[in-house]
Amino acid sequence: MDLHGIDLNLMVAFDALMKERSVTRAGIRIGRTQPAMSAALSRLRGLLNDELFIRSPAGLQPTPRALDLAEPIGHALAEIQRTLEFTQTFDPTTSTATFSIALSDHPTFKVLPVLLDALRQKAPGITLRIGNFTARDDAITLLDAGEADLTIGVSPTASGRILTRPLFSEDFVCVLRRDHPATKAPLDLAAFLSLSHLLVSPENDRFGLVDAALAKMGHKRRLAVTLPTMYAAPLVIARSDLIATLMAGVIPASGQADALAIRPLPFDLDPIGFTMSWHRRNDVHPAQRWLRDFVSGLPLDG
């Protein structure tokens, strides 16, 4: 017997015939016409090489072969139905799902501890598989490849297949070691430009947001050190005469807050926004949608 020709529709038709013992009533049960049901029965008879149902005054009577098939087919269809119903709902309190989340450096420190604590309380059975990325468009690569369900970082380049939602933003501040001579006076633009600077550039670009803002004003700063990782910067600043312009949230998370002096920037610089991104193919999946809503609701301010 060649089972490759048996599709799910034929199994549904067989189950309806077993329950109704009538081609007409079976068709009504599953929303098919009588000719369609008769055709399905004819295909089943040919594929299984058995009459399956014999006409009698009491209706269709199943053959022994049909009776043998009734329970396993009914069970299989019930399991499929339960699976389909499961994918339409998601209960985080009982779920043992695994989610893959990739974060850039700052969200790893700011978001991940809060997320893990919240999951422990609200969804203790969920497992996270955490990854990291550096360049903002690495997020697109991870989402396209299915290696991440969700990424959190600076917004990647706009793409129709990648969806995003703002998550939090960070203001910039100037950071020096606590006993730096420059802390004895207000940090104006002239003082800012007179110092040697540390730039954090994950992509190894020696022209950052600060440099772009200064260039618009006709100024340029002296870059003494460029680092690829943000969380190394506070330690370097605490042990040098350098100044760095960092996101405010980096300081308390770095463990170096007591060794640092924080000053406002002497010029305007817009906050930097962080977003979570996901692939369009995951947009309507209940578990994925729950994850995004859960992350959006985390207390990330402050």
- Secondary structure class of 272 (helix, strand, coil): strand
Domain assignment present for 301: no
* Residues 6 or more apart in contact with residue 87 via CB below 8 angstroms: 285, 286
Give the CATH number of the domain where residue 207 resides. Answer: 3.40.190.10
**What total of structural domains would you count in the chain?**
3
Q: Are 36 and 60 contained in the same domain?
A: yes
Q: Are 212 and 81 contained in the same domain?
A: no
Of 26, 51, 86, which closes a domain? Answer: 86
Domain assignment present for 38: yes
Q: Are 117 and 157 contained in the same domain?
A: yes
Domain assignment present for 149: yes
270-281 average pLDDT score: 96
Residue 12 belongs to domain spanning: 3-86
Domain assignment present for 92: no
Q: Are 249 and 279 contained in the same domain?
A: no
Q: Nearest CA to 272 among 167, 170, 151?
A: 170
Q: Across the chain, what does the average pLDDT equal? A: 91
Q: Are 179 and 115 contained in the same domain?
A: no
Taking a C-beta distance cutoff of 8 angstroms, is the pair 201, 232 a contact?
A: no
pLDDT attached to residue 298:
96
Kindly report, residue by residue over 40-92, the tens digit of the pLDDT: 999 989 888 999 999 988 889 999 999 999 999 988 887 777 666 556 678 99
pLDDT greater than 60 at residue 302: no
Q: Are 252 and 262 contained in the same domain?
A: yes
pLDDT attached to residue 85:
56
261-289 average pLDDT score: 95
- Secondary structure class of 170 (helix, strand, coil): strand
Q: Are 55 and 34 contained in the same domain?
A: yes
Angle (CA) 117-119-125 rounded to 5° is: 130
Residue ranges of alpha helices (H) inside the chain are 8-20, 23-30, 34-48, 64-86, 105-110, 112-122, 138-144, 189-194, 209-216, 233-238, 250-254, 286-296
Give the CATH number of the domain where residue 22 resides. Answer: 1.10.10.10
5-26 average pLDDT score: 86
Q: Are 216 and 261 contained in the same domain?
A: yes
Of 61, 86, 111, which closes a domain? Answer: 86
Q: Are 160 and 178 contained in the same domain?
A: no
Domain assignment present for 21: yes
pLDDT attached to residue 2:
44
d(CA 299, CA 297): 6
Domain assignment present for 41: yes
Kindly report, residue by residue over 127-166, the tens digit of the pLDDT: 999 999 988 999 999 999 999 999 999 999 998 999 999 9
Q: Are 166 and 277 contained in the same domain?
A: yes
d(CA 24, CA 39): 12
Q: Are 222 and 163 contained in the same domain?
A: no
Kindly report, residue by residue over 100-121, the tens digit of the pLDDT: 999 999 999 999 999 999 999 9
pLDDT greater than 90 at residue 182: yes
Domain assignment present for 37: yes
Q: Are 41 and 153 contained in the same domain?
A: no
DSSP state of 126: -
* Residues 6 or more apart in contact with residue 10 via CB below 8 angstroms: 40, 43, 44, 47
Of 86, 115, 136, which closes a domain? Answer: 86
Domain assignment present for 302: no
HSE-CB for 182 with a 13 A CA cutoff: 24
